[in-house]
Chains A and B, each alone.
Chain A
Amino acid sequence: MRRFVLAHTTEVALIVVMLVLSAGLSLATDRFLTLSNAFDVLNVSAVNIIFAVGLLVVLISGGIDISFAVAASVVQYLAVLALGVVGGGNWALGFLIAGAIGLGLGFVNAFLVYRLSIISIVATISTFNIFFGLLMFFTKGVSIYNLPDWLTTRVVFYEREMADGSWVELTLPVVVMLICCGATWFLISRTTTGRKLYAFGDNPEGARRFGINIGAMHYISFGWLGLMAGIAGLMQAHYAEEVVPNALYGRELDVLAATVLGGARLGGGKGSVIGCVLGVLMVSITQNGLNLMGVSPFAFKMIVGAIILVAITLSSARLDKLLPAFARARPRTGGPR
């Protein structure tokens, strides 16, 4: 138990903060602690979690990406146009097209970072502007409301009416989110590629000396995020039932904050899927709670920012300093015995 807590400090701290927050919200409003509200939070968070697990892979391998949210907007637009060309399509084709375009945009970032040796934050701020600029230029800011029917029809895997008349629903974005989380978890913690990504992010020179293909690491990490961004874009279009070119603009910073909140290290080499999920949920729960309490939406950003600060302070402060009981488990620095 002690070892688990030490190895998963961030996750444990986040769960504790979330429990405290949830307890407070449950007392403050009677709507918060209901099953249907929990599913609401999950439905609302699904797109961001898909983004977050993609970004996680880039962060683990030591990079950063600012462009994925607008890349997802580009994907939405191009995918809907492409689907129109082929005469409507279906879910399989939709995922295929969105995933492929997303992957391609991710490869653009990988190319800039690896081939042209541009540090990833600069490269992706550039592509952020280029992607968004191109999108606004060609669409003139016009939204698409005329989506194929299959894309806008809600897909419900499970639903049930509760005693109080509210509905519990498990919808497509949540299922897709679970699949993305599972796939990312498998990639980073069960495959040799995942180990290489961690190693490369942790100590690039050490990884190079082991003969790890550095180019492949860039294409895999940015490609994975591109793929996730493509899927997230499709899910967001499905959820919103429209494609608005600037709908996802600004989402990148929310997702980045939530991912780092979940324990991913900006320097690379560290981060977990469960941390990512907790990070995003933490922010969603806060917003949901504020909503239910009837707080003015204008105050949301301010409060969410403060909550992120508090949570990140708690989770990055060494747990052994907060809880002296755990300190004894640490090895003393000094003699080799």
Chain B
Amino acid sequence: MASEPPLLSLRNINVTFGGVRALKGVSFEVRPGEVHCLAGENGCGKSTLIKVITGVYRPEAGAELWFDGKPVAAMTPTLAQSLGIQVIWQDLALFGEMTVAENIGFQHAVNGRFGLVNRHAVQAAAERALAKLGVTLDLHMPLKELPIAQRQIVAIARALVGEARLVFMDEPTASLTQSETDYLIEIVRTLSASGVAVVFVSHRLAEVLEISDRMTVLRDGELVGVFPVEGLTQSRVTELMTGRNFDNAVIASDHDDQPVVLSVRNLSRHREFENISFDLRRGETLGITGLLGAGRTELALTLFGMKPAHSGGIEIEGRPVRFASNRDAIREGVAYLSEDRLSLGLNQPQSIADNLVMASLDRILSGGLISLTRKADVVRRWIAALGVKIGTPDDPIRTLSGGNQQRVAIAKWLATDPRILILDAPTVGVDVGARAGIFDIVRKLSAEGLSIILISDEPPEVYFNADRIIHMVEGRIRAIYDPRRMSLTDLEAAVYA
């Protein structure tokens, strides 16, 4: 394989945006039919590199770009398409109201002869592409009716219609469950076996290591190196990506001497979860893990008063409570950090300060109006306490990195002075380096006596950060583990079994 000429090869790529060098002398190479991982933290230049390859950005003079052994003087989006370079964007760019066939065959649908749609050509193109992937989907189903995983397949199939030779996948598994991810990995293998090279961009190191042949690592716009994946470990990759070393250790400890803050008894919600019972003590961090769809978020939303339980009870500090809405829950000291920070957790166009006080407006009132001084005090206090890196509090929150946004989202809830903080997938879309910072905050908060429920579908996150771990399967508690009495491998085996 090493003697084979590369399909794509770039040398000496420099890109500068407004004085900031986004890529510094980067080279990159993809061999025919290989699965190549492009790794690096957010802002390291991965997407800039993809946009150079697809002709969206023009690199500075001195750059060399070769495709299939021939030099390419100036790449343009149209040229990239005709060479068979396809990108599957993270947001998929599909059309929800159209059918599966129309989405896959869209290129044919908008390029028919005499400006007319040739429905047979569209349908045939869709069938061919799906056959290549070895998948059957209902071609007439409107796309919006499909689960995310199948939409992903549609996006891949659409790339294949253009006779793809090189496919970029940007975070394809970000919203998939484990079994869906496995399925996608199978698809990628099929693609690669048929001679299509795949470049995989993903935050999830486990699957990257499973699927790729080689890995190119970028850091701060520079090439760290190209590594064969065989023999690499997750912690080694993290080190390469961040330039730092993160030592993980189990932090679990006993809280039996502490008072019970939250007591859940036989809580059930029709078709979502059943018979959930546990106690949460002061200063304890309780991890909840399980596959996507195990009912974790539904349980959290019930504890937060957003989905009523159908039976069972909740007690807070020994008093039975009934939440008619999440306003009641917030009054009782429950806070919930949503799993979907981008669309639900933060109001992106608004300022950092406005986002931060969003949940605690009634605490900064003075004579019924918002007191700007009290607001500024609250903002200053929490920005400092959580170490959020900002320009000024009046900047829109979308200007912050994922990790810093997540800190503001946590601060928003801490400002409500909660007793119980539910963190639902707090590291989704957060860099490896910044994740450690989030968990440092979690540990500090629990040391200060806050009781935390930490929900994650990544077993290592709960293993290293929780005192006890609830394992949920199909809406029921399968087991409660003590991380000190089991290995991470055992936990992973149990979760993925």
- A residues lining the B interface (CB < 8 Å): 3, 7, 189-196, 198-199, 202-203, 205-207, 209-212, 265, 269-270, 330-331, 333-337
Contact = CB atoms under 8 A, between A and B. Distances in A.
Contact of B95 (A191, A194, A202, A335): A202
Contacts of B98: 198-199, 202, 269
Contact of A192 (B91, B112, B150): B112
A190 B116 contact: yes
A275 to B, nearest CB: 13
Contact of A336 (B78, B91, B106, B180): B180
A335 B153 CA distance: 13
B183 interface: yes
Contacts, number: 86
B397 to A, nearest CB: 21
B481 to A, nearest CB: 25
A210 B106 contact: yes
Given A192-B116, A335-B180, A209 B145 contact: no
B95 A206 contact: yes
A211 B76 CA distance: 12
Contact of B109 (A195, A202, A265, A333): A195
Contacts of B183: 335-337
Given A269-B97, A334-B147, 5 more contacts: A195-B109, A202-B95, A203-B95, A206-B95, A331-B146
A192 B109 contact: yes
The 5 nearest A-B residue pairs measured at CB: A206-B93, A269-B97, A202-B95, A336-B149, A333-B147
Contact of B106 (A199, A205, A269, A333): A199
B96 A336 contact: no
A108 B394 CA distance: 38
A230 to B, nearest CB: 23
A277 to B, nearest CB: 20
14 contacts: A190-B116, A191-B116, A195-B117, A198-B97, A199-B110, A202-B97, A205-B93, A209-B89, A211-B78, A212-B110, A269-B95, A334-B293, A336-B150, A336-B184
A203 B110 contact: no
A7 B142 contact: yes
Interface string B391-424: 0000000000000000000000000000000000
B354 interface: no
A189 B97 CA distance: 13
B115 to A, nearest CB: 5
B145 A193 contact: no
B270 to A, nearest CB: 15
B94 interface: yes
Nearest to A189: B117
Given A7-B140, A202-B98, A206-B94, A335 B116 contact: no
B97 A336 contact: no
A216 to B, nearest CB: 12
B115 A192 contact: yes
A191 B96 contact: no
A192 B147 contact: no
A333 B175 CA distance: 13
Contacts of B107: 210
Given A7-B140, A195-B117, A336-B183, A331 B147 contact: yes
Contacts of A331: 138, 141, 145-147, 150
A330 B145 contact: yes
Nearest to B81: A211
B145 A203 contact: no
A191 B110 CA distance: 8
A333 B141 CA distance: 14
Residue among A195, A212, A265, A330 with max Cβ neighbours from chain B (10 Å): A195
B77 interface: yes
B131 to A, nearest CB: 17
Given A192-B110, A192-B117, A334-B293, A203 B96 contact: yes
B111 interface: yes
Given A192-B110, A195-B102, A209 B93 contact: yes
A226 B146 CA distance: 37
A336 B153 contact: yes
Interface string B99-135: 0001000110111100111000000000000000000
Nearest to A265: B97
Nearest to B146: A331
A3 B145 CA distance: 13
B147 A199 contact: no
Scoring A192, A205, A209, A334 by chain B CB atoms within 10 A of each residue's CB, the highest score goes to A192
A235 to B, nearest CB: 28
Contacts of B146: 331
B370 to A, nearest CB: 29
Contacts of B112: 192
